[in-house]
C-alpha cells in the first residue's frame, strides 16, 4: 500500500525512539494521501496543552474535491494515549530533542505516522554518513562486477 517516507529526517537527525500514532485528517486529505500526494520533508511536531500537533506537513489538494477542499499545510492533531504524550513531552523538554515524522502509512485503512524523537546531527556526522553510503555503493558495484566476471568464466 502507500508509504511516504521522510528520507531527509534520518540524514539530519539521529533517531532515539519511535512512536506510532494516528492522525486526524479530513476526507479530501485522506483521498489525496491515498493518491500519494503528501510530503513530510519540512514537517515537525510540537506538544501543546498535553496534545501533539504536526506542523508544516504538505498534503496536496484533492483534484476532484469541491469547495470543501482542505488547506495544504494546516496544523494536524496526532492521536496518542495520554501517558505516551506526557512521556514524549518530558523527553522533548530536554535540550536538542525534537519530534520528527519519519513515515506516513496505512494500517487497516487508517493513516498512521511514525513519529521519532530525534537529536540533530552535527556537520561532521553528516559527512561521515555520506562517506559510509558512498563506500557501500562502491562495494555493491564491485560485487556486481565480480558476479558478472564469474558468470562469464
DSSP calls for 19-54: EEEEE---HHHHHHHHTT-EE-TT-EEEEETTEEEE
pTM above threshold 0.85: no
Q: Are residues 88 and 127 in the same domain?
A: no
| Residue 151 confidence (pLDDT) | 62
Question: For the chain, how many structural domains are there in total?
Answer: 2
Residue pair 80/19 in contact (Cβ under 8 Å)? The answer is yes
3-state class (DSSP) for residue 145: helix
Residues 35 and 103 in one domain: yes
Residue 100 sits in the same domain as residue 153 = no
Residue 95 has what pLDDT? Answer: 78
- Write out the residue range of the structural domain in which residue 133 sits: 122-153
**pLDDT value for 125:** 67
3-class SS of residue 132: helix
pLDDT at position 25 is 87
Same domain, 10 and 71: yes
**Same domain as 141, residue 90:** no
The list of the chain residues with pLDDT below 50 reads none
Judgement on whether residues 113 and 136 belong to the same structural domain of the protein: no
Amino acid at each position: 500500500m502507500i508509504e511516504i517516507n521522510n528520507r531527509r529526517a534520518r540524514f539530519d537527525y539521529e533517531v532515539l525512539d519511535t512512536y506510532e500514532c494516528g492522525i486526524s485528517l479530513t476526507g479530501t486529505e485522506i483521498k489525496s494521501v491515498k493518491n500519494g500526494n503528501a510530503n513530510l520533508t519540512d514537517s515537525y511536531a510540537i506538544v501543546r496543552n498535553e496534545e501533539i500537533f504536526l506542523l508544516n506537513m504538505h498534503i496536496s489538494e484533492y483534484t476532484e474535491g469541491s469547495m470543501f477542499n482542505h488547506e495544504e499545510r494546516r496544523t494536524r492533531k496526532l492521536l496518542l494515549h495520554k501517558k505516551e504524550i506526557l512521556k514524549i513531552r518530558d523527553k522533548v523538554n530536554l535540550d536538542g530533542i525534537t519530534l520528527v515524522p519519519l513515515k506516513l502509512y496505512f494500517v487497516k485503512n487508517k493513516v498512521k505516522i511514525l513519529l521519532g524523537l530525534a537529536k540533530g546531527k552535527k556537520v561532521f556526522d553528516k559527512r561521515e554518513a555520506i562517506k559510509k553510503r558512498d563506500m557501500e555503493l562502491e562495494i555493491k558495484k564491485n560485487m556486481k562486477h565480480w558476479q558478472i566476471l564469474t558468470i562469464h568464466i
